[in-house]
Chain A
Amino acid sequence: MDYLPALLGGVLIGLAATLLLFTNGKIAGISGIVSDAVGSGADRAFVGGLLIAGLCFALFRPAVFGETVAPIGMIAVAGLLVGFGTRLGNGCTSGHGVCGLARLSPRSLVATLTFMLTAGLTVLAVRA
């Protein structure tokens, strides 16, 4: 039970989302940013920042990555569902779950409750 790192990480995520809005006026929804990164320089830069953070962890704290929980074929299917679903619903954990809820958006509340519920049911079905 790692409440303090979780809280600290969450604070950093909130600061990052606020900084991106303050400087570039953009909503820090990762699925949208990744999807737009081909065309937009600021989106590419943000994704580059995520990769730099990942490299830092790979060099200094590789334990944060843990191990995969599913066979590679299931991971591939999961990626397809996440890519298509986050575009269809226009947001993921960050866009709806953090930025949308912070704006008190009813749309994001519905989306967040829906993906939390289906993710929980999926885990229940797969682990059963």
Chain B
Amino acid sequence: MKLWALIAGVLFGLGLGISGMTDPRKVIGFLDVTGSWDPSLAFVMGGALAVHGIGNRLVRKRPKPIFSSAFGLPPFSAIDGRLIGGAVLFGVGWGLAGYCPGPAVVSAASGAPGALVFVGTMAVGMLIYRYIGAPAAIQAASSSS
């Protein structure tokens, strides 16, 4: 149900802002292990994993989600060049700008030019993938949806 997706989005976005993930300087300080390292953002992943590690397990014991017929699962299972190549490209972009997708979208709502440009070119990158990089099955699925 869309209302619950909206509420989850608000909670997720509040969490990103409260945690410090929407401040690119702080993110760079976390990634800069050999410089003046600020390890506090490790607690974001720690808190999220503690809660969702338990929550995910409890929820998936149920036969199905409340408003949908089945739980989603990732479409791929192999550890391959696409996974690692994609993670490398993402890591380079994250390190250059200090934005990953969620914090960038939350920050774009503030009208900050850097975040708006980042979200714009991120959407272009996703479209480029859809037309040149995606396996044929994904291209067929996205053009029919």
Binding site for B on A (CB under 8 A): 1-3, 5-28, 30-31, 34-35, 39-58, 61-62, 64-70, 72, 74-103, 105-107, 110-112, 114-124, 126-127
Task: Kindly state whether residue B140 has any CB partner on chain A within 8 Å.
Answer: no
How many contacts between A and B, using CB within 8 angstroms? 498
Given A8-B18, A9-B47, A45-B9, check contact A55 B117 (CB 8 Å).
no
Question: Which chain B residues in 18-57 approach chain A with CB under 8 Å?
Answer: 18-26, 28, 31-35, 38-53, 55-56
- The interface on chain B, measured as residues whose beta carbon lies within 8 A of the other chain's beta carbons, has a size of 121
B107-136 CB mask vs A (1 if < 8 Å, else 0) is 111111111011111111111111001100
For this complex, 24 residue pairs linking A to B, each with C-beta atoms less than 8 Å apart, are A7-B44, A15-B55, A17-B55, A23-B1, A28-B8, A34-B126, A51-B109, A55-B110, A57-B106, A64-B22, A65-B110, A77-B121, A79-B97, A79-B118, A83-B123, A84-B89, A85-B92, A87-B126, A93-B100, A97-B45, A98-B52, A110-B87, A114-B84, A123-B32
Residue contact A42 to B5, C-beta cutoff 8 Å: yes
